[in-house]
């Protein structure tokens, strides 16, 4: 039996703000959307246009306060062939929250505080 990763879900407070961030910061674009008939949720799948993996953003109408992200020990990692340009963009966006220059990686935060690792394609 074999499995492949299809998508990873995170919940967001401001869907539009998150969509703008993920497109600007990581080039992820909306591929499909599901709205509850009663308006209680919206699910948006973002893709990178290259792999089959998706990032699922879920907005819940009932959620009014920020999500508890624990101790920030989990993250999603993104590889880029142009690490220096990515770093310059994220510096300009002021979203870099941690750098490990010895490992050659850094982390950015999205509008909800999720940590996203950026590493060079090796």
Alpha-helical segments (H) within the chain: 15-26, 83-93
Q: What is the pLDDT of residues 88-119, one digit of tens each?
A: 999 999 999 999 999 999 999 999 999 999 99
Q: State yes or no: pLDDT of 32 exceeds 80.
A: yes
Q: What is the pLDDT of residues 72-84, one digit of tens each?
A: 678 899 999 999 9
> How would residue 2 be classed by pLDDT, with cut points 50, 70 and 90?
confident
The reply to whether 71 falls in a domain is yes
The closest alpha carbon to 76, from 12, 30, 8, belongs to 8
- CA pair distance 41, 11, nearest whole angstrom: 10
The reply to whether 46 falls in a domain is yes
The reply to whether 1 falls in a domain is no
> How would residue 122 be classed by pLDDT, with cut points 50, 70 and 90?
confident
Range in 33-47, 50-64, 71-85, 106-120 with the lowest mean pLDDT: 71-85
Number of domains in the chain: 1
Q: Which residue has the tokens 């002021």?
A: 94
Q: Which domain holds residue 61?
A: 7-120
Q: Which residue has the tokens 């994220």?
A: 90
- Report the CATH number that the domain containing residue 14 is assigned in CATH: 3.10.180.10
Specify whether the backbone of 70 is left (phi greater than 0), alpha (psi in -120 to 50) or beta: left
Asked if 93 and 25 touch (Cβ cutoff 8 Å), the reply is: yes
């Amino acid at each position: 039996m074999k499995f492949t990763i299809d998508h990873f879900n995170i919940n967001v407070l401001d869907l539009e703000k998150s969509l703008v961030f993920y497109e600007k910061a990581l080039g992820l674009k909306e591929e499909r959307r599901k709205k509850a008939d009663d308006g209680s949720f919206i699910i948006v799948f973002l893709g990178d246009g290259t792999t089959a993996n998706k990032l699922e953003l879920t907005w819940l109408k009932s959620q009014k306060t920020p999500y508890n992200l624990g101790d920030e020990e989990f993250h999603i990692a993104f590889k880029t062939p142009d690490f220096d340009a990515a770093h310059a963009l994220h510096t300009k966006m002021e979203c870099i929250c941690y750098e490990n220059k010895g490992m050659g990686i850094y982390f950015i935060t999205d509008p909800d505080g999720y940590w996203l690792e950026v590493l060079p394609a090796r």
